[in-house]
Amino acid sequence: MGVHDKRYKKIFSNPIVMERFLKSFVHEDFIAKLDFSTMQKIDKEYVSDEYVETESDIVYKINFEGKEIYIFVLLEFQSTIDKLMCFRFMNYISSLYLDFNKPDTKSKHPAVFPLLLYSGDNKWKYSNEIADLIEDTIPGDYIPHLKYYPVLVNSYAKEKLKDIHNVISAMFYVENSDPDELLKEVDILLDLIKEENTEVLNAF
């Protein structure tokens, strides 16, 4: 994992940064109902040795309407996009569920929200639903269904990132800019982060 990739892992391992990220870039209604005061990072990784150089995972536990849920964030660094991303998510999340090892067979496992953060250069073109990648030669009830939420850094227009106006959008703004452009846009970056508190800025 390169320096850039390790920086991403460190940044998104900060619960306050993750809260900013979820509220600004994940447009699902349940995000507004999360109790961020309960957010806790789980110190275990599920990425396999095969992909350890190109991706990393972060797992958070948080309360949602009185129940625990898990947020599984996969950080994808390589520019080559992977059609099998859905299958990788299924593998990692299955490993997470097996780790729960609940002795009470009557209780259900907590929900896991799968989230991809892709910071590569190429345009992501594959479906985020695993059923779309499987032949429908048998009844659909017996075909696996798993969908992940994609946050594709290179898909955000710079004007949109300026509207979001926080430290995460500033980071993505840098990712989507040429070095020569950034030299002329320092004032824009300073404006994007001017309202952030010290704890958030220190994560960077």
Exposed, middle or buried, 193 (CB in 10 Å: 0-12/13-18/19+)? middle
Q: Across residues 1-27, what is the average pLDDT?
A: 84
Instruction: Say whether both 8 and 30 belong to one domain.
Output: yes
Q: How far apart are CA 83 and CA 132, in angstroms?
A: 11
Residues pairing with 194 in the sheet: none
* Count: domains in the chain: 2
Helix-strand-coil split of the chain, %, nearest 5: 45, 20, 35
pLDDT at 2 (0 to 100): 47
Instruction: Say whether both 16 and 98 belong to one domain.
Output: yes
Return all residues near 34 (Cβ < 8 A) that are at least 6 apart. Answer: 22, 62, 63, 64, 69
Instruction: Say whether both 84 and 169 belong to one domain.
Output: no
Instruction: Say whether both 167 and 121 belong to one domain.
Output: no
Instruction: Say whether both 94 and 111 belong to one domain.
Output: yes
Domain stops at, among 155, 170, 192: 155
pLDDT tens-digit map of 63-101: 999 999 999 999 987 777 888 999 999 999 999 998 887
pLDDT tens-digit map of 17-63: 999 999 999 999 999 999 999 999 998 877 766 656 556 889 999 99
Structural domain boundaries, residue 98: 3-155
Instruction: Say whether both 115 and 16 belong to one domain.
Output: yes
What is the model's pTM? 0.88
Residues pairing with 61 in the sheet: 40, 70
Residue 1 has pLDDT above 50, yes or no: no
Q: How far apart are CA 141 and CA 128, in angstroms?
A: 19
Domain stops at, among 117, 135, 155: 155
Instruction: Say whether both 115 and 179 belong to one domain.
Output: no
Instruction: Say whether both 50 and 35 belong to one domain.
Output: yes
SS3 state of residue 55: strand
